[in-house]
Amino acid sequence: MTDTTMCQAAAAAHAAASGLPLEVIAALSGAVAGAASSVLIEVGKWFFHRRARARAIRLALYLEIFNHSIFETGSTDGEPNFLLIGFTRASYDAHLGEIADLLPEPLVGDIGTYYAKVTLAAAQLPRIEEDTVNALSATQEMVRLEQKRGTISAPLYAEEEHLLKTKGAQVASRLSSLVKHTRFLLATAMWQQKLLLKQLRAALKHDPAQQPVDVLPQYRAWLAKAVQGKVDDPEQ
**Count of C-beta atoms within a 10 Å radius of residue 58:** 21
Q: Tell me: pLDDT of 28 over 60.
A: no
**Alpha carbon distance 183, 180 (integer Å):** 5
Per-residue model confidence (pLDDT) at position 18? 53
Give the percent of the chain with pLDDT over 90. 37
Any idea what the Cα angle at residue 101 is, between residues 100 and 102, rounded to 5°?
100
7-11, 94-98, 112-116, range with the lowest pLDDT: 7-11
79-109 per-position pLDDT tens digit: 999 999 999 999 999 999 899 999 999 999 9
Q: CA separation (Å) from 39 to 8, 27, 36, 185?
A: 15, 18, 5, 49
**Alpha carbon distance 54, 63 (integer Å):** 14
- The predicted model scores a pTM of 0.69
**Contact, 59 vs 204, CB < 8 A?**
yes
Q: Tell me: pLDDT of 197 over 90.
A: yes
**Alpha carbon distance 45, 57 (integer Å):** 18
CA–centroid distance for 90 within its chain: 9
**Contact, 65 vs 204, CB < 8 A?**
no
Per-residue model confidence (pLDDT) at position 65? 95
**Alpha carbon distance 36, 167 (integer Å):** 77
Per-chain mean pLDDT for the chain: 80
- The mean per-residue pLDDT over the stretch 137-163 comes to 81
Grade residue 12 by pLDDT with cuts at 50, 70 and 90.
Answer: low
CA–centroid distance for 46 within its chain: 27
Helix or strand (DSSP H, E) at 173: helix 154-201
